[in-house]
Amino acid sequence: MSKQKLTGFPAVVGTRPTILILGSMPGERSLTMGEYYGHPQNSFWRIMGELCGAAPELPYEERIAALKRSGIALWDVLKHCERRGSGDGDIRRESEIPNAIGALLKKHPTIRAVALNGGKARQAFRRHILPTLPDAVKARLTILEFPSTSPACAMISYKSKLKSWQKLAQFID
């Protein structure tokens, strides 16, 4: 399997976001579909269904609309990277190019929480983004770290993931 140069999706942001959920880089299935969290066994949309009505059985655009109505924005820490396959563990660290998350946070001062979806998102956020954020932005944010919703993170049950992700509810409009 050869390494691929990948480009993520643009940010999904409504008019008054209060939460920014950050993944690492979409998996192969998501990139092929052109949809965030496109793998059917990824528990992201099932969890968002519980939290804000963005259930997996809804068409993608309706799920996105439900997130926006709830004040949830979506993006990935990485804009570009090289990876073999679909897993976060296959991302070549030296190829990581971050998204302009600091600029997004500056443009949307209503964002009070950043939710990191999995270990690679947490690692890349701490390395590429957090050191670049102004103190005033850091002061207004609550950084939340959640277990990955990816099917590759199968050792954590859906019930445990949901319980953890329910901490987001306090920031949902």
Question: Which residues carry out catalysis?
Answer: 42
Contact 141, 113 (CB under 8 A): yes
Q: Which two tokens stand for residue 83?
A: 């990876």
HEC string for the chain: CCCEEEECCCCECCCCCCEEEEECCCCHHHHHHCCCCCCCCCCHHHHHHHHHCCCCCCCHHHHHHHHHHCCEEEEECEEEEEECCCCHHHECHHHCEECCHHHHHHHCCCCCEEEEECHHHHHHHHHHHHHHCCHHHHHHCEEEEECCCCCCCCCCCHHHHHHHHHHHHHHCC
